[in-house]
């Protein structure tokens, strides 16, 4: 079922809550520039196996409210905390993809991992999406600046170009159109503001050191958005973490190798992979 959670800021966050009677709960945080629908191929399977799957649309994306501000990781993690409080979630697995993975890491540090028993990161944009003087991995600052410029000048073209780099396995033209449509559902100002956050955010390096719970890191070796070296840095920086490479995946590993992806998540939540 779908419903809204109103935060203290007055912003309403859309929540897709599937199989509320499930034995264990997974809270999914989507990546840029999509929404909870990115996890369609998890929501088709995991509830059948008895899991409660919750997907939220971050502010500015999908069906959530689209205020003009609040797209830094602190505020976005506060939004997640508001949903966790409203739903009274305890002992759940927090699972984040790409920017959602970065938000999950900030949540663990800023909110002391409230309610979280396990963390899953897939193609996470951490500890830094872009190259820095002390971190030679990631994409260039200029590439992100081009995304921001493209958002303001021709957002559909920018989204098409981004979609072309997202998956490693072949996708059909209808699937590509569907993926493109998710990006169009976001507010243009939110799309650009989150990209700006990638440029300025550097605290994830220290955030990772504060995580002590079991953490599963899933990452495609062909990822062109968040390079595989980011996963290796996460594995090194997070205690009690395990890295599982996906040999036939790009950034969209939850679809590129969806069967393996779902199996790894279920093994992890059932204490069989760490």
* CATH number for the domain whose boundaries are 2-269: 3.40.50.1820
Sole residue written with tokens 């205690």:
239
Residue 1 confidence (pLDDT): 87
Residue 132 confidence (pLDDT): 95
Residue 272 confidence (pLDDT): 63
Residues with pLDDT less than 70, the chain: 272-274
Residue 92 confidence (pLDDT): 98
Residue 250 confidence (pLDDT): 98
What are the pLDDT digits (tens) for 130-175? 999 999 999 999 999 999 999 999 999 999 999 999 999 999 999 9
Catalytic residue among 36, 97, 219, 251: 251
206 flagged as catalytic: no
Residue 271 confidence (pLDDT): 84
pTM above 0.85, yes or no: yes
Domain ranges of the chain: 2-269
Cβ contact 244:218 at 8 Å: yes
36 flagged as catalytic: no
Residue 273 confidence (pLDDT): 57
Cβ contact 211:109 at 8 Å: yes
98 flagged as catalytic: yes
Catalytic residue among 223, 241, 249, 256: 223
Catalytic residue among 36, 64, 97, 98: 98
């Amino acid at each position: 079922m779908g419903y809204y959670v109103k935060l203290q800021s007055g912003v309403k966050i859309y929540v897709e809550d599937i199989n509320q009677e499930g034995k264990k709960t997974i809270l999914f945080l989507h990546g840029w520039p999509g929404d909870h629908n990115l996890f369609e191929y998890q929501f088709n399977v995991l509830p059948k196996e008895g899991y409660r799957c919750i997907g939220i649309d971050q502010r500015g994306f999908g069906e959530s409210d689209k205020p003009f501000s609040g797209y830094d990781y602190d505020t976005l993690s506060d939004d997640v905390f508001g949903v966790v409080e409203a739903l009274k979630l305890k002992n759940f697995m927090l699972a984040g993809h790409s920017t959602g993975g970065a938000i999950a890491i900030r949540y663990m540090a800023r909110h002391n991992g409230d309610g979280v028993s396990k963390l899953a990161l897939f193609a996470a944009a951490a500890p830094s999406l872009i190259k820095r003087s002390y971190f030679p991995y990631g994409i260039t600052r200029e590439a992100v600046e081009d995304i921001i410029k493209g958002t303001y000048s021709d957002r559909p073209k920018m989204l098409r170009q981004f979609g072309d780099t997202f998956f490693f396995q072949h996708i059909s033209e209808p699937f590509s159109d569907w993926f493109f449509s998710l990006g169009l559902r976001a507010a243009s100002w939110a799309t650009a503001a989150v990209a700006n956050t990638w440029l300025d955010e550097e605290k994830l390096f220290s955030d990772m050191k504060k995580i002590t719970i079991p953490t599963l890191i899933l990452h495609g070796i062909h990822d062109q958005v968040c390079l595989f070296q980011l996963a290796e840095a996460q594995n090194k920086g997070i205690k009690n973490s395990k890295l599982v490479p996906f040999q036939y995946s790009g950034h969209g590993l939850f679809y590129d190798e969806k069967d393996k992806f779902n199996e790894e998540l279920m093994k992890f939540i059932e204490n069989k992979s760490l």
